[in-house]
């Protein structure tokens, strides 16, 4: 489910005009759009390329601003037929007011001569900033399906993705929860 609100760049997470260029390009993108009233600071981000040379196109900034901030992590040519291990890239964010760390990780399994599983994405939420993120959970059976983090976290977090055989883009939108008693 996509939000109908837009960020300050006029894009809604999931509405990327470059998406058609990603089809089986080996590019992996994680984008966070923060429409909420909470500011998040980058906690941890990185990648493990398993003997693959990827090009870092964009890294996320240190702060995911409230009310329309957007940050992107983009690595091109992450998939390779010469990889010896799965390839990972991840970014986590922490909000002090919510005592909440959230994150998304893309896992690109080894493909040999274009044969092998497509990339998939995982999610994280905990209250342990500064530590290595270890409790990754699958976003679902199909990497193309959306995922909603539990509302008990105090914020609405929706993840949508565009998935191809060698490329994956995950867009995560953060919004305030509706106020108690408010009409939808």
* Number of domains the chain contains: 1
In a domain, 9, yes or no: no
List pLDDT tens digits, range 104-152: 999 988 777 778 888 999 999 999 999 888 889 999 999 999 999 999 9
Confidence of residue 50 (pLDDT cuts 50, 70, 90): low
CATH number for the domain spanning 61: value is: 2.60.270.20
Examine the pLDDT at 2 and tell me if it is beyond 50: no
Determine how β-strand 28-34 pairs with β-strand 168-175: parallel
In a domain, 4, yes or no: no
In a domain, 27, yes or no: yes
Q: Which domain holds residue 139?
A: 19-172
**Contacts within 8 Å (CB) and 24+ apart, 11-16:** 11/70, 12/173, 13/70, 13/158, 13/160, 13/171, 13/172, 13/173, 14/160, 14/162, 14/171, 14/173, 16/162, 16/169, 16/171
């Amino acid at each position: 489910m996509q939000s109908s609100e837009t960020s300050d760049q006029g894009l809604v997470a999931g509405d990327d005009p470059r998406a058609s260029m990603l089809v089986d390009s080996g590019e992996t993108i994680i984008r966070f759009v923060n429409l909420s009233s909470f500011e998040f600071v980058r906690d941890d981000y990185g990648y493990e390329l398993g003997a693959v040379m990827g090009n870092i196109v964009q890294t996320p900034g240190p702060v995911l601003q409230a009310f329309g901030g957007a940050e992107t992590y983009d690595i091109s040519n992450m998939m390779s037929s010469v990889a010896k291990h799965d390839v990972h890239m991840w970014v986590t964010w922490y909000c002090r007011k919510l005592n909440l760390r959230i994150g998304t990780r893309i896992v690109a399994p080894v493909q040999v001569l274009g044969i092998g599983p497509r990339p998939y994405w995982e999610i994280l939420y905990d209250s342990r900033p500064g530590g290595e993120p270890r409790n990754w959970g699958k976003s679902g059976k199909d990497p193309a399906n959306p995922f909603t983090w539990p509302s008990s976290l105090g914020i609405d977090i929706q993840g949508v993705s565009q998935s191809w055989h060698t490329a994956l883009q995950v867009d995560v939108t953060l919004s305030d929860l509706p106020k108690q008693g408010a009409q939808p």
